[in-house]
Amino acid sequence: MFLTIDAQDRRPIYQQVAEGIQALIAAGDLKEGASLPPVRQLAADLGVNLNTVAAAYRELQTQGLITVKHGARATVASRTTVARPDTELRRPLRTALTQLVLAGLPKRKILGMVSDELEALLKGTR
Amino acid sequence: MSDAYFYVIFLLFVAVQANTLKKRWRLHLLRGEDWFFGVRVQPGFYGDPGRKILRAHRMRLLFPYVVELLAAALILRYGRPVQLTYLMFGMVALIVPNHILAVVAAQRQARRYELPGSQPSPTSVLLPLETRRLRDYTHLSLEIGLAAANVLALALAYRSSDWAVPALMLYLQAGALLIKVALVGWRTLLPADHAEAYAEWREQARRLFLDTCDTVRILLAAELLFAVCFDYLGGMPALISATVVMLIAWVAWYNRRRNRFLALTGGITPVKLPGALELEEYPRGVLCYRPAYPAMLIKGPQRYSLNLASRRTQAGVAYAAGLAGLCFWMFS
């Protein structure tokens, strides 16, 4: 199981790490209770500051996707514990859709893209 | 111990060195005639420019052996045969880094004649999400066996007034364990293309080095046990025979594993992976102090820099200082 990091990506490294782990959890590659590598190991492998990986883990913890206990390794949280309001969940979707509309794509094309991405994302969970 | 023991061990050491040197002599052709180590060279490289680079590389390879020859001659003329043991430890500490540096230097020179575009340098890398722990690379039965052998040896050595050899053997075993810890933490970053093949290669490399550390620990524990059982075994001939058999078995094992690994290495195209992804300023020297970065070695655009703030580096420095102190105590 791999995390993809692109040195030329505009997103900061912590965001790439957080979003990569999010995608693995969504695809079912990282299942509930699975352990994540220690912050120290990821930071040493990537050659980044400890705080960068810690920030990614904090972000995931805030979203309720992982649990981090002091002195123990971070683990993937139970999906049922992720109880977030509908409006909060819709916000990133609206942001992404806005980008696609601003790019001038027709509604049909946008729906097709969303469907394809959702299909790819859920492939691993079935 | 009699002088014969040290002479036999030293002769075995020389034989192993000769075999290793023979392999390293042609290691640049591991991937074929189009390659010089990990550099895909232009046609005709082995004509003029390559010949000079290769000659300089081979001279660097020979350097430690010249030092060894002179030191051995001085020891045999003025010193005591026991000092050949220290020479062997010194040679191991010299030959391996010398070989690595010689290959790095030769590759750097050969890059001027590299086939354009032959070495991809991907910006996108993959990071395995598996946790690497020392215990995943530890065999419980082996650890119990080693502990039992060491305890038994110490119990037998307790009556002896000579603690130098047991102390050195135990300290070297601790050093092998320290190297294992560093190997488990070895940076594992993979190129996006052929990631599975690279992951397999990296894991095999890690396993080879870790198993080498374990077998060296077995050798040291066994040698310690043999040394303290000297009288029970029937003296010097038995000790020499046991040592020779162990070393020959170890060399055979190591050669088989190394050849298998080199065959795997030959099928892997070298990729230039990015260095530290986030450093605002790369370290300029070979040493640096970056407390926020846990990596032992920080890879910059030109070279690696040893991070003195890393816990593993600090443990290594403390170990080296301890080894120097122990050797000083043994000599004095």
- Contact B125/A13, CB-based, under 8 Å? no
Q: Which domain holds residue A50?
A: 13-81
Structure tokens at B329: 């105590």
Question: Which residues on chain A are in Cβ contact (under 8 Å) with B295?
Answer: 43-44, 47
- Whether residues A69 and A23 share a domain: the answer is yes
A8: in domain: no
- Whether residues A62 and A31 share a domain: the answer is yes
A109: in domain: yes
Single pTM value for the model: 0.79
Bridge partners (DSSP) listed for residue A76: A66
A7: in domain: no
Bridge partners (DSSP) listed for residue B128: A2
DSSP assigned state of A79: G
Which backbone phi and psi does B34 adopt, to 5 degrees? -80, -5
**Nearest C-alpha of chain A: how many angstroms from B275?**
7
- Whether residues A20 and A47 share a domain: the answer is yes
pLDDT of residue B226: 85
- Whether residues A58 and A93 share a domain: the answer is no
Helices B195-228 and B140-157 sit at what angle, rounded to 10 degrees?
20
Whether B326 contacts B168, CB under 8 Å: yes
Question: Which residues on chain A are in Cβ contact (under 8 Å) with B195?
Answer: 2
* Mutate: best of B121, B125, B126, B129, partner A, most A CBs <10 A: B129
Residue of A nearest to B275 (CA): A47
Residue of B nearest to A40 (CA): B294
- Contact B125/A44, CB-based, under 8 Å? no
Q: Of B127, B132, B295, which is closest to A2 when you measure between CB atoms?
A: B127
Reported as type and span, the H/E element at residue A17 is helix A13-26
- Contact A5/B292, CB-based, under 8 Å? no
- Whether residues A71 and A95 share a domain: the answer is no
Distances (CA, A) of A105 to A91, A92, A96: 20, 18, 12
Bridge partners (DSSP) listed for residue B40: B35
Pairing of strands B35-36, A2-6: unpaired
Structure tokens at B228: 């303290």
How is B242-280 classified by DSSP, letter by letter?
HHHHHHHHHHHHHHHHHHHHHHHHHTS--------SS-S
Number of cross-chain residue pairs from A and B with Cβ atoms under 8 Å apart: 93
- Whether residues A18 and A67 share a domain: the answer is yes
Q: Is B136 on the interface with A (CB under 8 A)?
A: no
- Whether residues A17 and A77 share a domain: the answer is yes
A2: in domain: no
- Whether residues A77 and A119 share a domain: the answer is no
Q: Is B299 on the interface with A (CB under 8 A)?
A: yes
Q: Of B127, B132, B296, which is closest to A3 when you measure between CB atoms?
A: B127
Per residue of chain B (332 residues), give pLDDT as tens: 577 878 888 888 898 889 889 989 999 998 888 899 888 888 888 888 889 999 999 999 999 999 999 999 999 888 888 788 778 878 887 888 899 899 989 998 998 888 887 777 777 889 989 899 999 999 999 999 999 999 998 888 777 667 888 888 899 999 999 999 999 988 888 888 888 888 899 999 999 999 999 999 999 999 888 888 876 666 777 777 787 788 888 888 988 898 899 888 888 888 877 777 676 677 888 899 988 888 888 877 777 889 999 999 999 999 999 999 998 888 77
Question: Which residues on chain B are in Cβ contact (under 8 Å) with A52?
Answer: 278
Domain with residue A24: its CATH number is 1.10.10.10
Please count the residues of chain B.
332
Q: Supply angle C-alpha A77, A81, A82, rounded to 5.
A: 90
- Whether residues A58 and A94 share a domain: the answer is no
Q: Identity (one letter) of the amino acid at B161?
A: S
Q: Is B120 on the interface with A (CB under 8 A)?
A: no
A91: in domain: yes
* Number of structural domains chain A divides into: 2
